[in-house]
Amino acid sequence: MKTIGILLDDLYNEHEVIYPYYRILEAGYQAMTIGAQEKTAHSKAGLPFLVERAAGDLHGEDLAGLIIPGGYAPDRLRRDPAVLALVRSIDQLGKPIACICHGGWVLISAGVARGRVLTGFVAIRDDLVNAGAIYRDEEVVVEGNLVTSRQPSDLPAFMRAFLALLGNEP
């Protein structure tokens, strides 16, 4: 069974973790939460979720794709060199990466945003543009292997686009 990683740290948006987590399982994939270290992360509302693996223990070849949820967790994740190396590796392999809301911060810090058409929460629009991305205010934007969305209300379109890139073949 192929594994999809979900990046996770404290202050994550619970909607942007739980909805993709169960959609991945429903599609027949294994879901694996990944962070800077193994721990229990807490959402903005205090909901606990286990970070199963440290990014430094993984390589792009270990995953079929990656989801980067929003909230304020991406600001923590973008500071970890192993997380950024994993994102770059998955991108270089052309595997699907989906990020929503503030998840684009991780793409910026990983150096994979420049020249790509992306969306994200309106508060990071300037960050994306200043990093060289082309910003679109749309429900979902697919640019090669990247899927980006703005906010929790975009989750159905976000996950349809991500699963389509995977080919729905677990």
By annotation, the residues acting in catalysis are 102
DSSP 8-state code for residue 149: E
Cβ-in-10-Å burial (0-12, 13-18, 19+) of 100 comes to buried
Instruction: Give the angle 135-103-44 at the CA atoms, nearest 5°.
Output: 130
How far, in Å, are 17, 20, 112 from residue 125 at the CA level? Answer: 22, 23, 16
Instruction: Give the angle 55-118-91 at the CA atoms, nearest 5°.
Output: 35
Count the Cβ atoms, other than its own, within 10 Å of residue 169.
Answer: 9
DSSP codes joined into one string, 63-116: -SEEEE--BSHHHHHTT-HHHHHHHHHHHHTT--EEEEGGGHHHHHHHT--TT-
